[in-house]
Amino acid sequence: MLALGVLAQTSSATFVHGTPFLLPALTDRGDSLAAAGALVALPTVGLVCTLIAWGYVVDRIGERIVLVAGTTLMFAAGLGAALVEDPIAFGVLLFLGGVGAASSNGASGRVIVGWFPPDRRGLAMGIRQTAQPLGVGLAALTIPWVADGYGIAAALLVPALLAGAGAIGCLTGIVDPPRPPAKAADRTNPYRGDSTLWRIHAVSILLVFPQATLWTFGLMWLHRDLGWSLAAAGALMTVTQLLGAAGRIGAGAWSDRVGNRLGPLRQVAVAAVLAMAALAVAAGTGWGWIAVPLMVAASVISVSDNGLAFTAVAEIAGPFWSGRGLGIQNTGQNLVLAAIPPAFGALITVSGYPTAFAFASVMAMAAVPLVPRGTGR
């Protein structure tokens, strides 16, 4: 169940977060950075529009059907986008791919929460959360190279084929976890009369700014400002994502050991603030020799919070609300992910990369006092 959950979520991450790696190819063909940013944000827009709806379906009918349907839609949309030439159809298919990608966010998390006990759940969810940096790393390693050598359409076959593999795996191997007998208390809306879940959502939204800024523009910064080749920049971005995956596993194991999700979440938030602020200073002063290691450190730290918050939301919301809770969690995060490519593309055009890094640090700082007190279980 864990391996298939990781596969489904990796295909989703490759489709949604891999499209920003088309930015060099899109700008080379004449698109402005802001316009290209808007285009590559379309999968995220599709994902954001349907996360809660997918979560509702998961709560009602279970995980397996949702995972199979979503990965199949991703495969079909990616294949279609690689074949069409009409720009409107291209954009619509990117949007539909994002719709399919939304299915795995809540469903794969629910599979793992349902099959693992609380004292192993943080580690298991940390492993599941490695899917996002693994997907981004795979995209960084392949999509710029394929787009540069074979064109944008060919590059889209990378996420499409991975989604096809995910669909086959989920169809043949996923088993819905058992649910406890329904009680009236279990079906009570956990958002009423308690701000804990809303605060966790807000923290996660604010902590998206550092990770999304580095995911979207890290490769461009290395290539355009520091003069790295696309191959070298893509390789480094892949390394940062692999290290980020290890960071998520470590954070999950840490939360199991201390029996607390929210304490580690607060400490990760503080570390993200410091790392992004240091990167902004180093990039602004032209100290590339230290800015690059700081970018790697910030990339690792800024993704380590996701599994902690995700697990806390699933545990607090309970088995009859966790689908919607995880949908709300990811909707807020992905709204920021959708806004950052065009908004920060315009900001970087006017003020440069150091300003964008500094702004991301300020947003992360706002998250620190919002982390709830308690265990997050």
For 83-122, what is each residue's pLDDT tens digit? 887 878 888 999 999 999 999 887 888 888 888 888 888 8
Asked whether residue 169 falls in the same domain as residue 208, the answer is: no
The pLDDT of residue 310:
82
Percent of the chain with pLDDT over 70: 97
Q: What's the pTM?
A: 0.74
Asked whether residue 216 falls in the same domain as residue 272, the answer is: yes
Q: Is the pLDDT of residue 165 over 80?
A: yes
Asked whether residue 268 falls in the same domain as residue 134, the answer is: no
- Is 151 inside a domain boundary? yes
Residue 167 — very low, low, confident or very high, per pLDDT cuts 50/70/90? Answer: very high
- Is 328 inside a domain boundary? yes
Report the alpha-carbon angle 244-206-219, nearest 5.
Answer: 45
Q: Which of 5-14, 297-306, 320-329 shows the lowest mean pLDDT across its residues?
A: 320-329
Q: How far is CA 349 from CA 228, 229, 316, in A?
A: 19, 21, 42
Each residue of 338-376: pLDDT tens digit? 788 888 888 888 888 999 999 999 999 999 999 998 665
CA-wise closest residue to 329 among 175, 110, 183: 110
- CB neighbours (10 Å) of residue 366? 16
Asked whether residue 121 falls in the same domain as residue 207, the answer is: no
Q: What is the CATH number of the domain that holds 160?
A: 1.20.1250.20
More confident residue, 258 or 180: 258
Give me the domain span that covers residue 265: 195-370
The pLDDT of residue 71:
95
Mean pLDDT estimate for the chain: 86
The rounded distance, in Å, linking the Cα atoms of 108 and 340 is 26
Report the alpha-carbon angle 38-215-349, nearest 5.
Answer: 50
Asked whether residue 100 falls in the same domain as residue 236, the answer is: no
Q: Is the pLDDT of residue 192 over 90?
A: no
The pLDDT of residue 182:
58
Q: Are 10 and 74 in contact (CB under 8 A)?
A: no
Asked whether residue 123 falls in the same domain as residue 250, the answer is: no
Q: Is the pLDDT of residue 150 over 60?
A: yes
Asked whether residue 49 falls in the same domain as residue 170, the answer is: yes
- Is 180 inside a domain boundary? no
Asked whether residue 205 falls in the same domain as residue 158, the answer is: no
Asked whether residue 239 falls in the same domain as residue 363, the answer is: yes
Residue 181 — very low, low, confident or very high, per pLDDT cuts 50/70/90? Answer: low
Last residue of one domain, picked from the residues 114, 140, 175: 175
The full DSSP string for 89-141 is HHHHHHHHHHHHHHHHHHHHHHHHHHHS-HHHHHHHHHHHHTHHHHHHHHHHH
The pLDDT of residue 4:
93
The pLDDT of residue 129:
80
- Is 112 inside a domain boundary? yes
Mapping DSSP onto H, E and C, the string for 260-293 reads CCHHHHHHHHHHHHHHHHHHHHHHHHCCHHHHHH
Our count of domains for the chain comes to 2
